[in-house]
């Protein structure tokens, strides 16, 4: 591609996830930041049912719930065809027609089928450059139980936890409650293992709360995390890079509620972001170091936000989770931390696309055929 040609970017939004609506908010900011002098942008929407749609003003159509005018589309898992096709009915069956070529994909998909390695596998099969972590980093970062197992093996502190299955909850919830009560005294937190934005998360102060929390979390995932409740401060840091990542200024969230719920994040507008976090420099350095260590441990790439809990009673620091596709609105913590570190939003978006292309070059160096000397 010559320097005079624009880079063709496919922005994927929506998705089969409880975080579908958050994806639309993030995508609006990303799309606004993509310089039309540099990029030829194609919007690709995925419905709650998993249907891929393209057309005019996809984001506006999804936001308004008016997608009838859009056209079904597909990305083929064929390495020689970095192209998006529309699917049209005909008398002889469905016809695939070329819609747009794509050089790099920017998935703005939070939660399942977007942040968990599934769509990254499709991009790998298609041999496309894409923003963010690969299959491994995405899947490990997404599953809270597996992620904590990996962190423990890398000497990154996490709170006590267990994983239970939806089947266990539905067949013998009393045994699950008894098992949960061996983790720690109340309060306990219950979370779907593979979801974000605090969807399905409950703070449980007694058995009744725990019963309700388990039933709610099991609606969103077959794996449910139960962990000790920490009277903690919410400390967050952003990570950027591939093999040699860097960490941003450290921030703190003062949630409007008892903990950082979905409503506190996206609805009531009363939570406060403190940048930089009012913590000692030595502790901020520790947060950054652990964030980079966790990023490397799961083989993340491009971007991630690491969320910590700082125990108010003991000053112990715990890594809560890593988000490989964090909230990306212009007022989200990830870009705001980088803005405070000297990288504004449009520059950050440019850098993430550069990192995606760099990683594709590195991936293409891998030999796919065994030739005996």
Instruction: Return the pLDDT at 34.
Output: 98
Question: How, if at all, do strands 7-14 and 39-46 pair?
Answer: parallel
Per DSSP, the three-state class of 180 is helix
What pLDDT was estimated at residue 2?
45
* Domains, the chain, with CATH or none: 7-130 (3.40.50.20), 141-157+230-361 (3.30.470.20), 161-228 (3.30.1490.20)
Q: Which region among 96-100, 190-194, 234-238, 292-296 has the lowest average model confidence (pLDDT)?
A: 190-194
Tokens of 152: 């423990």
Q: Is the pLDDT of residue 4 over 60?
A: no
pLDDT at 199 over 70: yes
Angstrom distance (rounded) from CA 125 to CA 278: 45
Model confidence pLDDT, tens digit, residues 319-332: 999 999 999 998 89
Rounded to whole angstroms, how far apart are CA atoms 226 and 217? Answer: 10
Which runs of consecutive H residues, i.e. helices, occur in the chain? 20-33, 58-64, 118-125, 135-142, 144-153, 166-171, 173-180, 207-220, 262-266, 281-297, 333-340, 345-364
C-beta separation of 79 from 126 below 8 A: yes
255 pLDDT band (50/70/90 cuts)?
confident
Q: Rounded CA gap, 73 and 90, in Å?
A: 15
Main-chain dihedrals φ then ψ at residue 96, nearest 5 degrees: -95, 125
The pLDDT value recorded for residue 268 is 54
Per-residue pLDDT tens over the stretch 201-226: 999 999 999 999 999 999 999 999 99
* Cβ neighbours around 60 below 10 Å, total: 12
What percent of the chain lies above the pLDDT cut of 70? 95
With cut-offs at 50, 70 and 90, classify the pLDDT of residue 5.
Answer: confident
pLDDT in tens, 144-171: 999 999 999 999 999 999 999 999 999 9
What residues have CB less than 8 Å from 80, skipping those under 6 apart?
A: 127
* For range 117-143, the mean pLDDT: 97
pLDDT at position 196 over 80: no
Q: pTM of the full predicted structure?
A: 0.92
Ranked by mean pLDDT, the top range of 82-96, 184-198, 237-251 is 237-251
User: In this predicted model, what pLDDT tens digit does every residue of 10-23 receive, in sequence order?
Assistant: 999 999 988 899 99
pLDDT band at 301 (very low <50, low <70, confident <90, very high): very high
Split at pLDDT 50, 70, 90, the class of 372 is: confident
Write the CA distances from 34 to 15, 224, 330, integer angstroms.
Answer: 21, 37, 13
- Residue 81 is predicted with a pLDDT of 85
Q: State phi, psi for 111 to the nearest 5 degrees.
A: 85, -160
Is a pLDDT exceeding 50 seen at residue 95? Answer: yes
Task: Tell me the average pLDDT of the chain.
Answer: 93
Please report, rounded to a whole number, the percentage of residues in the chain having pLDDT higher than 90. 86
The average pLDDT across 123-138 equals: 97
Residue 267 pLDDT class (50, 70, 90 cuts): low
**Exposed, middle or buried, 371 (CB in 10 Å: 0-12/13-18/19+)?**
exposed
């Amino acid at each position: 591609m010559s320097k005079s040609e624009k880079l063709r970017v496919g922005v994927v939004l929506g998705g089969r996830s409880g975080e579908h609506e958050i994806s639309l908010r993030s995508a609006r900011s990303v799309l606004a930041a993509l310089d039309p002098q540099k990029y030829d942008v194609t919007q690709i929407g995925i419905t709650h049912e998993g249907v891929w749609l393209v057309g005019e003003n996809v984001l506006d159509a999804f936001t308004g719930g008016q997608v009838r005018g859009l056209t079904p589309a597909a990305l083929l898992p064929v390495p020689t065809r970095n192209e998006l096709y529309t699917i049209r009915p005909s008398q002889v069956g469905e016809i695939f027609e070329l819609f747009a070529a794509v050089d790099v994909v920017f998935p703005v998909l939070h939660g399942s089928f977007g942040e968990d390695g599934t769509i990254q596998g499709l991009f790998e099969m298609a041999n496309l450059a894409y923003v963010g972590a690969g299959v491994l980093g995405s899947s490990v970062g997404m599953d809270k139980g597996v992620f904590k197992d990996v962190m423990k093996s890398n000497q990154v502190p996490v709170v006590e936890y267990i994983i239970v299955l939806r089947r266990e909850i539905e067949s013998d919830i009393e045994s699950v409650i008894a098992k949960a009560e061996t983790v720690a005294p109340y309060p306990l937190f219950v979370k779907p293992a593979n979801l974000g934005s605090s969807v399905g998360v409950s703070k449980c102060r007694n058995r009744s709360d725990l019963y309700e929390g388990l039933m709610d979390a099991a609606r969103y995932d077959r794996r449910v995390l139960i962990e000790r409740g920490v009277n903690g401060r919410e400390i967050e840091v952003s990570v950027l890079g591939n093999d040699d990542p860097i960490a941003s200024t450290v921030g703190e969230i003062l949630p409007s509620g008892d903990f950082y719920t979905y409503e506190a994040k996206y609805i009531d507008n009363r939570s406060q972001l403190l940048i930089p976090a009012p913590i000692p420099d030595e502790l901020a350095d520790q947060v950054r170091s652990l964030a980079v260590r966790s990023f490397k441990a799961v083989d993340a790439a491009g971007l991630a936000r690491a969320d910590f809990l700082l125990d108010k009673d003991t000053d112990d620091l715990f890594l809560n989770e890593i988000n490989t596709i964090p909230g990306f609105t212009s007022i989200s913590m990830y870009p705001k931390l980088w803005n405070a570190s000297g990288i504004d939003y449009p520059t950050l978006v440019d850098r993430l696309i550069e990192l995606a292309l760099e990683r594709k070059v590195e991936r293409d160096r891998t030999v796919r055929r065994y030739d005996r000397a």
